[in-house]
A and B are shown apart, each in its own frame.
Chain A
Amino acid sequence: MTQDKEKLIVELVNKGLDGDMDSVNNHEDKIVRAKAKAMIMKVKKGTVERPPMPEISNQVATDPISGNQDQAIKIEDPFEKVKKVITEKYSNDLDEGKEANCIYFKPDNWLEIAKWLRSEPSLLFDSLQCQMGMDMGEDILESRYNFHSMELDHYLEVRIRVSRSDPKIPSVEQVWRIADWFERETYDMLGIEYIGHRDLRRILLPDDWEGWPLRKDYQEQETYHGIVVPKIKEGWD
């Protein structure tokens, strides 16, 4: 929980206790809503004391990109700031996507975008937290990346979609070294090929295994080196 979010919750709690429940109910972030409502209930029950309203001077948000002093009390969600910076710079490479809390990119220019994400001073995403692949059905495979910045403490999720018949995405293992093993595991489980990877081979399953297990249409092979793979026992169902 960052400092801004805590102050936002305290502010919403105070507003709710003063009678203004609409500002609590209409807030977009569902986690902030839930925490504010929980704290209001606790204060009403008497288990927790009412927290004081945060000072207005702390809520002046300095926009690092444009440098304006924003006099309004509205605190910007850190993800919205990040999204604005990214969508302004790379608007051509955006893909269409349904979820609003992540950014969808097309696979072609991904390596350059990744290098920029790491080096840009207002973003500084130096840590790739998690990289995974998913079978979305309807001939689409997705590769999802979760980023975090250790210095500026903000998060980002990036999703890249490819088709099932030709799944190729540029590899980002030069930028974050842990992507080396994460991408090998996604290749092993789902079959997404990462172009430019120095050594793309299976990491968990044996090298001569057939098939991509985490796809939804995976069929197990019959035998592996003479050992029967699916063992059916009567009466176990």
Chain B
Amino acid sequence: MGLLTNKFSEDNVIVAKLEKLLNWSRSTSPWFFQFGTACCAIEMMAAAAPRHDIKRIGFIPRSSPRQADVMIVAGTVTMKMAIRVKKLYEQMADPKYVVAMGSCATSGGPYWQHGYHVLKGVDIVIPVDVYVPGCPPRPESLIEGLLKLEEQILEDRPLTRKMA
């Protein structure tokens, strides 16, 4: 509730932009779509496990793309899988965000040089908002990436008319 402290001093009326209200309501608990392919998926599961709990900051894992706001692409994406990734991204409902977790999803990882079947970075097929490097990144790094995503959502401009 950091944005709303010290605003209720005498009257209980706040004046704010509608965009800021929308951003605030979307940023505090984005539900994530667990799209884990490889080793980073295990660290994503460990991030949801009892020690580094991401449910306490609002990130709840969902299995269906329709119910999710954020897609965490954890692990290597191959050519065979790239078409399905694009389909799953299109099935998510707006507003949607993407976090590329691990070096394989960022830029191909250790397979960049001789991997003929590896997609060198998932940003070739879908637009990415936050990159979390590491092989695999520790759960603490993933949590920092997700908190950066929350900051990005706060600065979003959902109601501004987009340039054609």
Contacts and interface: CB of A to CB of B under 8 A. Distances in A.
Q: Do A and B interact directly, with beta carbons closer than 8 Å? A: yes
Interface in A173-215: 205-206, 213
A4 B120 CA distance: 52
Contacts of A206: 79-80
A100 interface: no
B116 A227 contact: no
Interface in B111-163: 112, 116-117, 119-121, 124-125
B116 A231 contact: no
Interface residues of A, number: 13
A213 B80 CA distance: 15
A225 interface: yes
The majority secondary structure among interface residues of chain B is loop
Nearest to A220: B116
A229 interface: yes
A46 interface: no
Interface residues of B, number: 13
B108 A231 contact: yes
B68 to A, nearest CB: 24
Contact of B79 (A218, A229, A236): A229
A230 interface: yes
A205 to B, nearest CB: 6
B37 to A, nearest CB: 15
Contacts of A205: 80, 117
Give the residue among A213, A218, A230, A231 with the most B Cβ atoms within 10 A. Answer: A231
Contacts, number: 27
A220 B121 CA distance: 18
Nearest to A221: B116
A107 to B, nearest CB: 29
B83 A225 contact: yes
Given A227-B124, A227-B125, A231-B108, A213 B79 contact: no
Nearest to A205: B117
B85 to A, nearest CB: 11
Contact of A224 (B79, B108, B112, B120): B79
B82 interface: yes
B120 to A, nearest CB: 4
Nearest to A225: B83
A237 B157 CA distance: 40
B116 A230 contact: yes
A180 B3 CA distance: 63
Interface in B75-132: 79-80, 82-83, 108, 112, 116-117, 119-121, 124-125
B87 to A, nearest CB: 12
Contacts of A230: 116
Contacts of B125: 227
A78 to B, nearest CB: 40
B80 A231 contact: no
Contacts of B79: 206, 224-225, 227, 229
Interface of B: 79-80, 82-83, 108, 112, 116-117, 119-121, 124-125
Interface of A: 205-206, 213, 218, 220, 224-225, 227-231, 236
